[in-house]
Amino acid sequence: MATRRTRALRRLAAPLLFGAAVLGATAPAQAAGAGSGAGPGQGGKATAEIVTTAEHQGNVAALTFDDGPNPVDTPRLLQVLRENRVKAVFCLWGEYVERHPDVVRQIAAAGHTLCNHTMHHDNLAGWTPDQAFTEEEVRADLEATSALIREVVPGARIPYFRAPYGAWGEHSPQVAADLGMQPLGWAVTIEDWETQDADVLAQRLEERIRANPGGVVLLHDGPVVYDEAGQPQSFRAGTVEAVARVVPELKAEGWRFTKPARRG
């Protein structure tokens, strides 16, 4: 098992490695048709297919936010979404659920959809093959993360799972499906791990949503960065500002923001 130290190092390396992982994740055949996945999970029926599309067609997009809850940026994002009457998916990092449960309750109370993003944001496929999680390790992580979310929000529906870095590995799509969670990929990113310049991100968001109607959009409201006193700092203000600028503009043109598709 990874030590806390190696986890911290991996986390620091994440933005650099992310781009490479995206290429693998967008290969749609990776896990398609791997099984019906109608398992005993609490999220309903799901399959192992990694979905990248919104549940409707046309000028729609499904907004998804990863790596929170973040006690600084997520509440501001929730305000922006509320003002625009838009619902989104939040892919939650278990360690931050544990540290910031009130923010998870705010997300759920606002009617947004929850998504399991593992407990420690480990690379399930392994940075090297010998680090790859076994099926049992994947299942244990996903079950623990969902259980933690439901400790914080009793009875919470968690209909999606997204693998950190889009590194699904051999097992996670089917394990997620068995637990009632549809594997959630994406069709659009704005690479907000590269920059938090709101002008750059707003331009990317608008252009890329327009170029990919019907797509799942990957954005980030986390992770959480703490100062020396242990206080959480704003880390995704640029992403939130981009959403605040672009969503009302697209809505005014008739675009709708829906949930990602589910299979099964």
Q: What mask of x and - would describe binding to Zn ion in positions 180 to 199, judged by CB under 5 A?
A: --------------------
Nearer to Zn ion, 14 or 38 (CB): 14
Nearer to Zn ion, 37 or 164 (CB): 164
* Strand, helix or coil for residue 244: helix
- Is omega for the bond preceding 69 within 30 degrees of 0, making it cis? yes
Q: Quick check: is 66 catalytic?
A: yes
Q: Which residues are bridge partners to 183 per DSSP?
A: 161
Contact 126, 133 (CB under 8 A): yes
Binding-site residue total for Zn ion (CB under 5 A)?
Answer: 3
Nearest residue to Zn ion, using CB?
A: 66
Catalytic residue among 112, 120, 171, 220: 220
Q: Which residues are bridge partners to 53 per DSSP?
A: 215
Nearest alpha-carbon partner for 32 in 47, 21, 45, 52: 47
Smallest separation (angstroms) from Zn ion to the CB of 8: 15
- Any contact of residue 69 with Zn ion (CB under 5 A)? no
* Strand, helix or coil for residue 133: coil
Nearest alpha-carbon partner for 138 in 159, 155, 166, 163: 163
Smallest separation (angstroms) from Zn ion to the CB of 168: 13
User: Is 85 buried (19+), middle (13-18) or exposed (0-12) by CB count in 10 A?
Assistant: exposed
- Any contact of residue 66 with Zn ion (CB under 5 A)? yes
Distance of alpha carbon 210 from alpha carbon 228, whole angstroms? 41
DSSP state letters, 199-216: HHHHHHHHHHHHHSTTEE
Residue span binding Zn ion (CB under 5 A) among the ranges 156-164, 168-176, 180-188, 208-216:
156-164
Nearer to Zn ion, 49 or 192 (CB): 192
Interface pick for Zn ion out of 68, 164, 173, 214 (rule CB under 5 A): 164
Smallest separation (angstroms) from Zn ion to the CB of 81: 19
Q: Quick check: is 112 catalytic?
A: no
Contact 74, 56 (CB under 8 A): no
Nearer to Zn ion, 164 or 260 (CB): 164
Q: What mask of x and - would describe binding to Zn ion in positions 11 to 50, judged by CB under 5 A?
A: ----------------------------------------
- Any contact of residue 67 with Zn ion (CB under 5 A)? yes
106's tokens: 């705010």
Nearer to Zn ion, 67 or 241 (CB): 67
Write out the residues near Zn ion by the rule CB under 5 A: 66-67, 164
| Residues forming the active site | 66, 220
